[in-house]
């Protein structure tokens, strides 16, 4: 048999292989030698063979047959064997293999031996691949090692404790007492590990959070010492005293000061000192400043301190480092709702970031610019955003166009400005706008009667210049069909004078119909516009008849159907043509929710954009399609019908008598959710004048000892229903029975089908984000019968 290679020789031979086939051949031969050596059971060669197998494993080849050899080496009394055995366990074993439980006793014995190198190996292995069961079995041994005099063992024990807390948060109580003592340590590694351990405890255990709020003054003193005198010169980086320790302490202070007034007041002065004295010429100082800013914004800090934090982020925007600018834009985007006026001061710098060549920077700058738009700066911001839209990368055009349209709809100073803004977007990036842009613009033009002449002439000019932007062509065709007579009457004072002939209008619409760029929907708009012009124009309609008759044999079914119906209208019902093709009546928009109705059917009902906070990242990455979870084939949602007077009301109007319909019996309330002190109750009411309408009031209360923040309730119903969510009364529920959050659901059930609800709750509780999705199908019969 060919003798086995040494590890160094194996590495050289593998690296010398010229092809992958040669490499596989070398590894297969050596693996066969390793297996034979394992079968022989030579204890002196076992660790050498396993070391070669670990190298093979690192190259991506199977090495599972060495798992049991790891256990044998760990149980060996020789340190050289234990070292390779523990390394093999960290690489070859994990929680998915039952074999990892077999080393629990070996680790326990090694932890109690008192040999520091062996204890270090055992603790490292436990921190790397220890399962929850192993952590529960070994927690007591690790807790004892936290009190060892050796900083080497104590540091590794702290890191093992961090891993245990992450695996099983119920072990928190074991590590609470030693942490307070460890905060007085002077050893850098021990102190840094202790801060990390306390952070994990506070994030996962509310009791630990309350316990460690008592040590806030001690943490403040440690950080003040770091800032003023330094911890030790060997841990300073670029003139910044121990930035890693500063960052960890600031993160812990952020957790301890959140929603706690007393702790926040204790650290306010220190945060101001760190923010003003930290050197910003080096990256280490910028890292400390960023954590300081995030801490200031997370706690109950003074208004002046928050302005200082925003100004620091503004200085970051001027930094040459792209990473620092990106972090600044992301942080400002998170702060724009709570400190809008302070962020507004840096608006010009944010707008300049739109021209960044880096795609991630320009996208963040776009999101922040859209969030900064309000009624006072909408004209200036729209000019900047429209200029960016003309030159922005293709992957940003859809987001930019949609953001401009939403901002214009929300903050438009006048209808003409609103129309001009949408037209500019359609002309520049028409193919990238949202699907509802066409309907919104036609609705806006229809409502602005005084701007009909201006709008149709602007659209005609835009259409004559470019027929490639399909949404623009659709709006222009609709507008020409509705107001074609105004286009021919004369000049508009608000536009450049030009004369339009009937033949020019018809030729332009025929060009749209014949263009290969026109979509079937666009051709439908154009042929309908031609048909309407037959009643608007004074000339002969033979040309329109010929064009319509041609499309009676079109391959597109929708277009063919329209053409056939229009031909019949010409031939058999010509006397009714003028009445059938009258101008479209206005659709009243008394509620902003009407605009979002179609969107709600796809994404699940949600609070209105006008009343809910603007999201800090793109809406499409945040929402869950709840309606997919409640798919119903019984039919599609219907629009809310006009309310007919009930018989009782008709009788009142007829006889003018003070009678009223009987009051319906009350519907019992239902508790649909309860978790850790948070309860959600639903109460119901059905208006007597609208039996198909159900008003559901969702009341959320909090009896726990921690406040619930960022609470959002979303709902969905089957497609045979229509759901409309009113804005909630707030998004924070104070602890221990504070004022609840109420929200009203309006549910239309025309078919009187059994009611089912799908609810999604997202909130922060005890420093942890929580999301709950559940279905409610045990509602009282009175809610739908």
Closest CA to 350 of 327, 373, 331, 366: 366
| Predicted pLDDT at 627 | 38
Choose among 218, 206, 121: nearest CA to 170. 206
* Contact by Cβ (8 Å): 127, 163: yes
Q: How many angstroms separate the Cα of 539 from the Cα of each of 485, 542, 543, 706? A: 12, 9, 10, 76
Per DSSP, the three-state class of 345 is coil
- Give CA angle at 406 (405, 407), nearest 5°: 95
How many residues appear in the chain?
A: 785
Span 665-686, pLDDT tens digits: 678 888 888 888 888 999 988 8
Q: Are 612 and 731 in contact (CB under 8 A)?
A: no
Distance CA 251, CA 32 (A): 52
SS (H, E, C) 14-35: HHHCCCHHHHHHHHHHHHHHHH
**How many other CB atoms are there within 10 angstroms of residue 707's CB atom?**
19
Q: Where are the beta strands (DSSP E) in 379-428?
A: none
**What letter would DSSP give residue 231?**
S
Cβ-based neighbours of 41, under 8 Å, separated by 6 or more: none
Distance of alpha carbon 393 from alpha carbon 359, whole angstroms:
8
Contacts of 35 (CB under 8 A, 6+ apart): 65
705 vs 33, 708, 736, CA distance in Å?
63, 10, 6
Q: How far apart are CA 653 and CA 18, in angstroms?
A: 98
User: Coil, helix or strand for 751?
Assistant: coil
Residues 6+ apart with CB under 8 A from 554: 560, 563
Cα 497 to Cα 505: distance, rounded to the nearest angstrom: 16
Residue 422: CB partners within 8 Å, gap ≥ 6?
Answer: 405, 408, 437, 440, 441, 444
105 Cβ contact partners less than 8 Å away, ≥ 6 residues apart = none
What pLDDT, on a 0 to 100 scale, did the predictor assign at position 488?
A: 79
User: Which two three-digit tokens encode residue 428?
Assistant: 């520049």
How far does Cα 385 stand from its chain's mean position? 23
The SS3 of residue 737 is: coil
What is the reported pLDDT for 573?
87
Q: What Rg value do the Cα atoms of the chain yield, rounded?
A: 36
CB atoms near residue 449 (< 10 Å): 9
Count of Cβ atoms closer than 10 Å to residue 403 Cβ? 21
> Which tokens sit at 513?
């119909």
Q: What are phi and psi of 586, to 5 degrees?
A: -70, 145
Under 8 Å between Cβ of 751 and 720: yes
- How deeply is 303 buried, as exposed, middle or buried, from its count of CB atoms within 10 A (0-12, 13-18, 19+)? exposed
Q: For residue 540, how many other CB atoms are within 10 A of its CB?
A: 10
- Tokens (6 digits) for 228: 């003023």
The per-residue pLDDT for 639 is 40
H-run or E-run covering 565: helix 557-571
CB 481 within 8 A of CB 528: yes
Do 73 and 92 form a contact (C-beta atoms < 8 A)?
A: no
Q: Determine the Cα–Cα distance for residues 100 and 483; give it in Å rounded to an integer.
A: 79
Model pLDDT, residue 336 = 86
DSSP H or E stretch at residue 198: helix 188-204
d(CA 53, CA 35): 10
Residue 301 in tokens: 């800090």
- Residue 325 structure tokens: 């600018």
CA dihedral 247, 253, 259, 260 (to 10 degrees): -160
**Cβ atoms of residues 687 and 693 within 8 Å:** yes
DSSP sequence for 678-705: EEEEEEEE--TT-TTEEEEEEEEEE-SS
Question: Does an H or E element contain 597, and which?
Answer: helix 597-603
Instruction: Let me know: does 475 contact 426? Beta carbons within 8 Å.
Output: yes
Eight-class DSSP state of 414 = S
Task: Please tell me the distance from the alpha carbon of residue 359 to that of residue 39, in angstroms, as a whole number.
Answer: 58
Which residues of the chain fall below pLDDT 50?
1, 590-661
**Which residue, among 682, 677, 703, has the nearest Cα to 770 in the 3D structure?**
677
Question: E strand or H helix at 168, and its extent?
Answer: none
């Amino acid at each position: 048999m060919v003798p086995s290679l040494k590890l160094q020789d194996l590495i050289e031979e593998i690296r010398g292989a010229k092809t992958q086939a040669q490499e596989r051949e070398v590894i297969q031969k050596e693996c066969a030698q390793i297996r034979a050596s394992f079968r022989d059971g030579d204890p002196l060669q076992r660790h050498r063979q396993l070391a070669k197998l670990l190298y093979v494993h690192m190259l991506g080849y199977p090495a599972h047959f060495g798992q049991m050899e790891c256990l044998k080496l760990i149980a060996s009394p020789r340190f050289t064997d234990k070292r390779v055995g523990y390394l093999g366990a960290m690489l070859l074993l994990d929680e998915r293999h039952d074999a990892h439980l077999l080393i629990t006793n070996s680790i326990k014995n090694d932890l109690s031996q008192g040999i520091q190198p062996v204890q270090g190996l055992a603790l490292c292995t436990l921190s790397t691949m220890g399962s929850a069961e192993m952590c529960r079995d070994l927690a007591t041994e690790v807790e004892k090692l936290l009190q060892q005099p050796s900083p080497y063992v104590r540091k590794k024990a702290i890191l093992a404790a961090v891993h245990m807390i992450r695996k099983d948060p119920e072990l928190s109580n074991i590590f609470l007492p030693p942490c307070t003592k460890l905060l007085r340590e002077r050893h850098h590694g021990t102190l840094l590990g202790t801060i990390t351990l306390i952070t994990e405890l506070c994030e996962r255990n509310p009791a630990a959070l309350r316990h460690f709020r008592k040590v806030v003054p001690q943490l403040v003193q440690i950080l003040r010492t770091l800032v003023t005198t330094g911890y030790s010169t060997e841990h300073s980086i670029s003139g910044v005293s121990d930035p890693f320790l500063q960052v960890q302490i600031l993160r812990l202070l952020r957790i301890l000061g959140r929603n706690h007034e007393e702790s926040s007041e204790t650290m306010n002065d220190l945060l101001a000192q760190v923010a003003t004295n930290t050197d910003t010429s080096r990256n280490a100082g910028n890292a400390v400043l960023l954590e300081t800013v995030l801490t200031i914004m997370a706690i109950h800090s003074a208004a002046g301190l928050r302005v200082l934090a925003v100004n620091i982020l503004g200085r970051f925007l001027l930094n040459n480092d792209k990473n620092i600018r990106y972090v600044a834009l992301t942080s400002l985007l998170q702060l724009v709702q709570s400190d809008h006026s302070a962020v507004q001061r840096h608006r010009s710098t944010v707008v300049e970031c739109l021209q960044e060549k880096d795609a991630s920077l320009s996208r963040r700058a776009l999101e922040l610019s859209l969030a900064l738009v309000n009624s006072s700066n909408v004209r200036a911001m729209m000019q900047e955003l429209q200029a960016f839209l003309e030159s922005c990368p293709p992957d940003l055009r859809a987001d930019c166009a949609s953001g401009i349209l939403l901002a214009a709809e929300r903050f438009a100073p006048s209808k003409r400005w609103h129309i001009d803004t949408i037209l500019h977007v359609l002309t520049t990036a028409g193919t990238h706008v949202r699907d509802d842009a066409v309907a919104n613009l036609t609705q806006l033009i229809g409502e602005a009667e005084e701007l009909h002449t201006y709008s149709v002439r602007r659209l005609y000019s835009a259409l004559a210049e470019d027929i490639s932007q399909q949404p623009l062509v659709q709006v222009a065709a609709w507008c020409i069909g509705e107001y074609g007579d105004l286009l021919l009457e004369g000049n508009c004072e608000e536009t450049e004078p030009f004369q339009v002939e009937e033949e020019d209008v018809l030729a332009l619409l025929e060009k749209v119909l014949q263009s290969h760029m026109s979509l079937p929907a666009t051709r439908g708009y154009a042929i309908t516009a031609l048909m309407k012009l037959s009643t608007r124009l004074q000339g002969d309609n033979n040309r329109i008849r010929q064009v319509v008759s041609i499309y009676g044999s079109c391959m597109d079914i929708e277009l063919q159907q329209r053409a056939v119906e229009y031909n019949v209208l010409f031939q058999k019902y010509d006397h009714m043509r003028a009445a059938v093709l009258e101008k479209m009546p206005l659709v009243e928009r008394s509620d902003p929710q009407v605009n979002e109705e179609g969107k709600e059917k796809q994404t699940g009902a949600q609070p209105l954009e006008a009343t809910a906070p603007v999201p800090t990242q793109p809406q499409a990455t945040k929402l869950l399609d709840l309606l997919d979870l409640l798919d119903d084939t019984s039919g599609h949602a219907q629009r809310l019908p006009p309310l007919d007077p009930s018989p009782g009301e008709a009788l009142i109007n007829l006889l003018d008598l003070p009678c009223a319909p009987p009051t319906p019996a009350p519907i019992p309330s239902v508790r649909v959710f309860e978790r850790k002190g948070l309860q959600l109750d639903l109460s119901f009411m059905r208006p007597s004048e609208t039996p198909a309408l159900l008003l559901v009031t969702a009341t959320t209360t909090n009896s726990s000892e921690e406040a619930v923040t960022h609470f959002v309730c979303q709902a969905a119903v089957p497609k045979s229903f229509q759901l409309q969510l009113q804005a909630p009364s707030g998004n924070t529920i104070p602890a221990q029975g504070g004022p609840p959050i109420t929200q009203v659901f309006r549910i239309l059930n025309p078919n009187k089908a059994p009611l089912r609800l799908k609810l999604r709750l997202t909130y922060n509780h005890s420093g942890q984000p929580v999301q709950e999705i559940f279905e409610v199908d045990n509602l009282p019969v009175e809610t739908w019968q």
